[in-house]
Amino acid sequence: MALPLLLIALLCNAGSEDSEDCGSEECVLEALQPIHTCGEWCKGAESATCTINQSLMPCRGSFCETSCLRWSRSVLADLRTLKVTCREFSDFASYPRGASICKEECLLPEIRPERYPLPTGVGLLCRPDSCDPAVQQRYGSVAWAKTPGVVELECPCNWFGSDCQDDWVPVLRVEKHALGAFQLLHLHVEPHLWHRLMKDYRPGSIVRLQHLDANGVAREQPYALGFGSDGAEGRLEILTGPPPEGLNSVVVEVAHAVRQLAPGPVQGLFVNPAIAGFFNGHYRFLFESLASTPEVRRVVLVSSGVGLSGVKAALLQLLGKPMDWPLEIHLFYGLRDVMDLPYKELLESWVLAGHLSLTLLVSGQRQGVEGVLQDAVERGVATTKMLASNADALPASLRRLLPSGRLYPQQALAIELAAGSLRSASLRDTAVVICGRYELLRDTPTALQAVCRLDEASCAALAKERIFTNI
């Protein structure tokens, strides 16, 4: 029997990069064991793998496979006494018994199931009949003791959705500059606390602005920082726009409150330390990845709306702390009115100095700027005309993705890669940084795959290495 088992082991391990040598009879027999449905048997067998019992927790696809440890802590445990660790919370490793799949109106588009299917493949989990997360620190109080579908979060925990308040830093004063629908805000905090906020900063980092609602519940809104630890001490910069429509009021409560702030002293607004940053599919951060991949000779940044703040932070580091080899830098940015272009003078100075190639995709008013900025507008117009006059030169897979009217930054980039000024570039030598609305995050990787000239597997592998987002 040893020979057939060895053959099975070889077949099972073939093509697996991370599988260990498993040629022994005992190892193969273990591998051939069926995966059982999670249940009471998981107690004391935490290292085992099991399949989620969908009568107790919905799941989809590969996410239905879980560990007995997670099942024990999410379903079998007494949730009234359990505390979810911050690591479990940030890894989306908890799915409390009785929790509900969050409704669409409860989630910003960027974190809906299409992008964030965790923890069980069907999307983030909420307290039943609520937009509140199923795991929160406040659920440890006596008032929540008999509420199904909730579990206490262990603090400290600085991550999206956490209501832990131990690292909140009060905002003292706000400066505000209106740019049409945009608002550029400078938030002032105590200088010694600013250093705590910026301790883990990277370009693309997010801060969460928080306040307590009328019921004393923490509500938050994430924003990308416009500059980093080299910025003015005691000051944070964010760019805001009108909140998305169609969301539950509690989801956009802080966003509306921030836009309604009057310049000057403020009370009741708090900010958490910076988290995340631009990372790729292997969870490597942008500048750490660039430093170890000298074959990358080009960085293309794709942005729209308020995403320009995160892009600006990346540009500041790219230009202020350059690599040991030359990098081309290109920015494709979409907005409605060119007169509302944020960071106008800064972008103009970078283009004039030859540091940056800029393409502006303007859907509305295109007049009101001059010189290199007007050239950037015309470059966007020329790309749109290229689509209208030379569509047959584009790959069929790309043509299917392109609209008949307005052109968006991600589509303009794909056209330039396929038949324009970047046609000699590829994901082998180009890193792509995305910061903007959900549609940008969703469509840019698809557009890049459509113009990739390699086989499908190689294109997917390169996309995982070369595409960076901050959410």
| CATH number of the domain that residue 176 is part of | 2.40.30.10
Among candidate residues 165, 196, 217, the one where a domain is terminated: 165
Do residue 120 and residue 208 come from a single domain?
Answer: no
Reported as type and span, the H/E element at residue 385 is: helix 371-389
Return the minimum-mean-pLDDT range out of 68-82, 185-199, 222-236, 353-367. 222-236
Percent of the chain with pLDDT over 90: 75
Do residue 122 and residue 193 come from a single domain?
Answer: no
Contact 312, 228 (CB under 8 A): no
- For the chain, the first-to-last Cα distance in angstroms comes to 51
| pLDDT for res 227 | 83
| pLDDT for res 10 | 38
Return the minimum-mean-pLDDT range out of 58-67, 181-190, 419-428. 419-428
Among candidate residues 74, 95, 89, the one with its CA nearest the CA of residue 163: 89
> For residue 355, what is the domain's CATH number?
3.40.50.80
Do residue 313 and residue 429 come from a single domain?
Answer: yes
| pLDDT for res 314 | 96
Do residue 123 and residue 186 come from a single domain?
Answer: no
User: Is 3 or 465 the better-scoring residue by pLDDT?
Assistant: 465
Residue 19 pLDDT exceeds 70: no
Q: Evaluate whether residue 280 is within a structural domain.
A: no
Domain that holds residue 365: 286-468
Q: Evaluate whether residue 35 is within a structural domain.
A: no
CA pair distance 323, 301, nearest whole angstrom: 17
Q: What is the mean pLDDT of the chain?
A: 89
Reported as type and span, the H/E element at residue 254 is: helix 253-260
Among candidate residues 212, 79, 219, the one with its CA nearest the CA of residue 139: 79
Q: Phi/psi zone of residue 404: left (φ > 0), alpha (ψ -120 to 50 degrees), beta?
A: alpha
Do residue 376 and residue 294 come from a single domain?
Answer: yes
Position 229 confidence tier, pLDDT thresholds 50, 70, 90 = low
For 374, counting Cβ atoms within 10 Å of its Cβ (0-12 exposed, 13-18 middle, 19+ buried), the class is middle
Cα Rg, the chain, nearest whole Å = 25
Of the CA atoms within 13 Å of residue 53, those in its CB half-sphere come to 18
Q: Evaluate whether residue 176 is within a structural domain.
A: yes
**Which value, to the nearest 10 degrees, does the dihedral of the CA atoms of residues 325, 326, 327, 329 take?**
150
Mean pLDDT of 420-445: 92
Domain count, the chain: 3
Which pLDDT tens digit goes with each residue over 163-192?
A: 999 999 999 999 999 999 999 999 999 999
CA pair distance 228, 232, nearest whole angstrom: 9
Position 405 confidence tier, pLDDT thresholds 50, 70, 90 = low
Among candidate residues 237, 271, 305, the one where a domain is terminated: 271
Which pLDDT tens digit goes with each residue over 89-137?
A: 999 999 999 999 999 999 999 999 999 999 999 999 999 999 999 999 9
For residue 285, the cross-strand partners are: 279
Do residue 412 and residue 307 come from a single domain?
Answer: yes
Do residue 356 and residue 423 come from a single domain?
Answer: yes
Rounded to a whole number, what is the largest CA-CA distance in the chain? 80
Q: Evaluate whether residue 392 is within a structural domain.
A: yes
Position 32 confidence tier, pLDDT thresholds 50, 70, 90 = low
Do residue 123 and residue 176 come from a single domain?
Answer: no
| pLDDT for res 197 | 96
Do residue 98 and residue 159 come from a single domain?
Answer: yes
Return the minimum-mean-pLDDT range out of 116-130, 203-217, 228-242. 228-242
| pLDDT for res 364 | 87
| pLDDT for res 13 | 44
Which pLDDT tens digit goes with each residue over 310-351?
A: 999 999 999 988 878 889 999 999 999 999 999 999 999 999
DSSP letter (8 states) at residue 155? S
Q: Evaluate whether residue 220 is within a structural domain.
A: yes
Position 28 confidence tier, pLDDT thresholds 50, 70, 90 = low
| pLDDT for res 6 | 37
Do residue 83 and residue 134 come from a single domain?
Answer: yes
CA pair distance 260, 158, nearest whole angstrom: 26
CA pair distance 132, 136, nearest whole angstrom: 8
Mean pLDDT of 266-270: 96
Q: How many CB atoms lie within 10 A of CB 1?
A: 7
Q: Evaluate whether residue 236 is within a structural domain.
A: yes
The residue to which tokens 């370009």 are assigned: 203
Q: Evaluate whether residue 39 is within a structural domain.
A: no
Do residue 320 and residue 184 come from a single domain?
Answer: no
| pLDDT for res 14 | 42
CA pair distance 214, 192, nearest whole angstrom: 30
135-136, strands of its sheet edge to edge:
83-84, 151-153, 135-136
Do residue 267 and residue 316 come from a single domain?
Answer: no
| pLDDT for res 272 | 97
Residue 136, token pair as written in the block = 């929160």
Residue 387 pLDDT exceeds 80: no
Among candidate residues 165, 190, 225, the one where a domain is terminated: 165
Position 63 confidence tier, pLDDT thresholds 50, 70, 90 = very high
CA pair distance 106, 252, nearest whole angstrom: 9
Position 404 confidence tier, pLDDT thresholds 50, 70, 90 = low
Mean pLDDT of 62-66: 97
Mean pLDDT of 37-64: 96
Whole-prediction pTM:
0.88
Q: Evaluate whether residue 243 is within a structural domain.
A: yes
Return the minimum-mean-pLDDT range out of 17-26, 64-73, 198-207, 449-458. 17-26
